[in-house]
Amino acid sequence: MVTMTDEHDHDSKPELPADVRVRFCPSPTGTPHVGMVRTALFNWAEARHTHGTFVFRIEDTDAARDSEESYNQILEALRWLGLDWDEGIEVGGPDGPYRQSQRGDIYRKVARQLLDAGYAYESYSTAEEIEARNLAAGRPKSFGYDGYDRDLTEEERRSFRDQGRRPAIRVRMPDEDVAFDDLIRGRIEFKAGSVPDYVIVRPNGDPLYTLTNPVDDALMRINVVLRGEDLLSSTPRQIVLYRYLTELGVAQGTPLFGHMPYVMGQGNKKLSKRDPESNLFLHRENGFIREGLLNYLALLGWSIGPDRDVFSMDEMVEKFDIRDVKANPAHFDIDKAVAINAEHIRMLDPQDFLNRSLPYLKRDGAVTADRWEELTGREREVLTAAAPLVQPRVRLLGEVSGMVGSLLSQEDYIEPEPDARKQLKESAGAVLDLAVKALEPVGEADWKTDNLHAILTHALVEEGGYKPRLAFGPVRVAVSGRRVSPPLFESLEILGKETTLRRMQNLRARL
């Protein structure tokens, strides 16, 4: 098949298993954000690079925060981005169901096994009681759980139950250091005693992430866990749980872990869901294309090689190795993201560029349909002519409407935008008069870019004595209403003689 030649040695980083199984397992809370996408991307790329398996599961164990809307958005996000999965949501697989809300029986059974084996125990302490004990013992409030219920006798437990109390279930942490080799960070060691016994099932019977995540990873035979840095400090307790699960035959060992750095926002803060820059769909609305956004996100922590930062997903898959990812947090820089997106827009086949622009044009009312086949003949004609002019000068698809709107429109007057109006000097009226006069005699057959260029240059610059800026500025504003537009003479040709002249006359009349 494919020979994987490793160009880099990954010093202390572990070797990957022969059959990589990674997963993406978001909680459906809120709208998809870019940090989440980056996590999905790196998992996907690792699976594709190694010809492994990418599993997609939903962790909806928190009924209070999860929503169906968010679930649907996450699905839509992955599909839009083209990050396809091999097993999981909607595609199925051998280890379903793939929504944790439908796997309650599994968790209950495993929790029972853990309890029976003594790896977990019933804990009746309330948060208030724990805090009170810590205070009384002179420990800081944030000391955490003190192990009070570890060795409750049967009598004590019965007495709690008789008071009407229901127990949470806690995992018993051994008093020893826990270490592992992170795929991104190398060796990480946690000191003994730094992780308290933790809850895996609520008193009401709801299983928590602390249980469901490792259990599902085990049952789905995930052997490489690539997740956010925020989960790093929960890794020792998961490793301990994996040991127990392996003893019980639920797991076949402990997976490899790789903790990806944060995506940062303004200041030194993690990009939060509140931050508009974190909103994937907002970026899409603004006109990011998947290639551009994915490329940019890949740059946050990973590099395809020296002196190179624009690449396709195929190229990324070919080169990607999670062990090359940097461990330090990266700031989300919208300017660079937009610049990368612009590069990808320019690489699009012109017709593809047009097709992808249509939803934006439709949204902005510049066009009558968002599908090429449903456009009018004139719309198709104008867009085909305008595409090569517009494609190199937009950075986001959301900018296309502004660029071609005045060409698509058949209005006889375009109200200049404020910054375009500012371009109009006192001479604008005289310039427009001259331009109209020079263009009126031009026959339809001669209404061509080069000819129009020659005629206007002659009339306005050579004979009129105006500097190019003063000569062509008013013409541009008249036909486009904007300071920035596609090339002027090409625009005039596309627009046609009649509309061009009327727009110039109408602007002239309103000066």
Q: Which of 67, 72, 102, 126 binds RNA (CB under 7 A)?
A: 126
Q: Which of 262, 288, 311, 320 binds RNA (CB under 7 A)?
A: 262
Host H or E run for residue 350? helix 350-363
In terms of CB distance, is 277 or 370 closer to RNA? Answer: 277
Q: Which of 142, 163, 443, 445 binds RNA (CB under 7 A)?
A: 142
The Cα 20–Cα 42 span in angstroms is 13
279 forms part of the interface with RNA (CB under 7 A)? no
Taking the alpha carbons of 479, 482, 485, 489 in that order, is the dihedral positive or negative?
A: positive
484 forms part of the interface with RNA (CB under 7 A)? yes
Q: Which of 99, 290, 331, 448 binds RNA (CB under 7 A)?
A: 331
300 forms part of the interface with RNA (CB under 7 A)? yes
The nearest distance, CB 332 to RNA, in angstroms, is 8
Residue pointed to by tokens 């949501």:
89
Contact (CB, 8 A) for 320 and 224: no
User: Which residues ranging from 490 to 509 are in contact with RNA (CB under 7 A)?
Assistant: 490
Query: Which part of the chain contacts RNA (CB under 7 A), choosing from 46-54, 71-79, 247-255, 319-327?
Result: 319-327
The Cα 12–Cα 48 span in angstroms is 24
9 forms part of the interface with RNA (CB under 7 A)? yes
CA dihedral 112, 96, 253, 250 (to 10 degrees): 30
421 forms part of the interface with RNA (CB under 7 A)? no
Residue 56 gets which letter from DSSP?
Answer: E
The Cα 51–Cα 64 span in angstroms is 38
Contact (CB, 8 A) for 495 and 437: no
44 forms part of the interface with RNA (CB under 7 A)? no
- Count of positions (residues) in the chain: 511
Contact (CB, 8 A) for 42 and 260: yes
Q: Which of 189, 314, 373, 426 binds RNA (CB under 7 A)?
A: 189
Q: Which of 472, 481, 495, 501 binds RNA (CB under 7 A)?
A: 472
Would you give the binding string for RNA spanning residues 426-465, x where CB under 7 A is met? Answer: ---------------------------x------------
43 forms part of the interface with RNA (CB under 7 A)? no
If binding means CB under 7 A, how many residues of this protein chain bind RNA?
A: 84
Q: Which positions ≥6 away from 345 have C-beta within 8 Å? A: 289, 292, 353, 391, 394, 395, 396, 397
Beta pairing partners, 180: 188
Q: Which of 243, 393, 448, 497 binds RNA (CB under 7 A)?
A: 393
The nearest distance, CB 377 to RNA, in angstroms, is 27
Host H or E run for residue 279? none
Contact (CB, 8 A) for 511 and 498: no
231 forms part of the interface with RNA (CB under 7 A)? yes
Q: Which of 261, 405, 416, 474 binds RNA (CB under 7 A)?
A: 261
Active-site residue flag, 273: yes
198 forms part of the interface with RNA (CB under 7 A)? yes
Contact (CB, 8 A) for 347 and 306: no
306 forms part of the interface with RNA (CB under 7 A)? yes
265 forms part of the interface with RNA (CB under 7 A)? no
Burial class (CB in 10 A: 0-12, 13-18, 19+), 248: middle
The Cα 19–Cα 221 span in angstroms is 10
Q: Which of 141, 269, 273, 437 is catalytic?
A: 273
The nearest distance, CB 170 to RNA, in angstroms, is 8
Active site residues: 273
